[in-house]
Structure 1
Amino acid sequence: MDDIKIGEILLPGDEETQERQEERVRAKFWPTLRKAFRQIPFSRDLVASFYCATDRETPLRVRGILLAALGYFVLPLDAVPDMFAVIGFTDDIAVLTTAIALVSRHIKESHYVAADRMLADGSSEPDAA
């Protein structure tokens, strides 16, 4: 992560960039979460962040920051490849923790309710977003 600064990763981008990022995140979030679930100690916050980032009522800048972090999470190649057990997700955790800390006041109770429902069901993805 020395060459890549977390602040650079979390740039919200313009609306077009966010739309592309959201498309990528929606396609890859749930499969990536299933692989990383046991290694990420804050899965509830992570899933709530997904719901916040895909909520059209969330401010554009906040959505952009979360989509950038979630996009980094779903990338197959990053600073520390995820294929390395345990340490593979440490860079993802650093980016996600920073993003969540930056925008935590925008993650609503309804996002957590949706996350709790999703985690309790144990299904791979939501019925509809």
Structure 2
Amino acid sequence: MATDHSVGFEPADELAKDRESVRKQFWHKLKRLALKLPFAEDLLAAYYCAFDRQTPRHVQAALLGAIAYFVLPFDFVPDVLPVLGFTDDAAVLATALRMVASHINADHREAARAAIARGLKNSELKDGETGA
């Protein structure tokens, strides 16, 4: 049963429980869309923070939920719509980032910038690595 604060997010909540599925689907979608996303660096920094072993579990859960929402093939505003397609993804990510901003550190941000600079090739890291 969904609580009032999670109505509509049940699929993302379910996907977030499977870290490996989130990881695989994240990289597939990000590589396909990276040049179109104005929030790609924030999304990558959130990803690196979520999979960093030093990040507290409650922070990982919040970030994995936001990332899972990003990778879901369906959402409130379809991603195929020009300009508007990623506004809901950006809003969910922005909310998660505000909640856990103090846990996203310079290493996570640098790893995100480095991944973008590499063109996101070979960006997948083993669990717990930040890329820095």
CA distance in 1, matches of 2:124, 2:20: 17
Deviation at 1:125, TM superposition (A): 4.1
Give identity over the alignment, percent: 43
8 Å CA contact 2:15–2:22 kept in 1: the answer is no
Match of residue 104, structure 1, among 101, 106, 109:
101
Are 1:58 and 2:40 counterparts?
A: no
CA distance in 1, matches of 2:51, 2:21: 12
Instruction: Map Cα deviations across residues 45-94 of structure 1 (whole Å, 9 max, x no partner).
Output: 11011000011110000000000000000000111111222211111111
- Match of 1:82, SS state, is coil
Runs of 4 or more, structure 1, over 6 Å off, are none
Change (3 A) 1:82 1:18: closer
Deviation at 1:34, TM superposition (A): 3.0
2:125 maps to amino acid: A
* TM-score of the pair, normalised by structure 1: 0.80
Deviation at 1:40, TM superposition (A): 2.8
What is the number of equivalent residue pairs in this alignment?
A: 119
Are 1:91 and 2:88 counterparts?
A: yes
* TM-score of the pair, normalised by structure 2: 0.78
Match of residue 38, structure 2, among 35, 41, 47:
41
1:128 — aligned with what? 125
1:23 — aligned with what? 20
Residue ranges of structure 1 left out of the alignment (5+ in a row) = none
8 Å CA contact 2:47–2:67 kept in 1: the answer is yes
1:118 — aligned with what? 115
CA distance in 2, matches of 1:124, 1:59: 28
8 Å CA contact 1:30–1:125 kept in 2: the answer is no
Are 1:71 and 2:68 counterparts?
A: yes
CA distance in 2, matches of 1:48, 1:40: 14
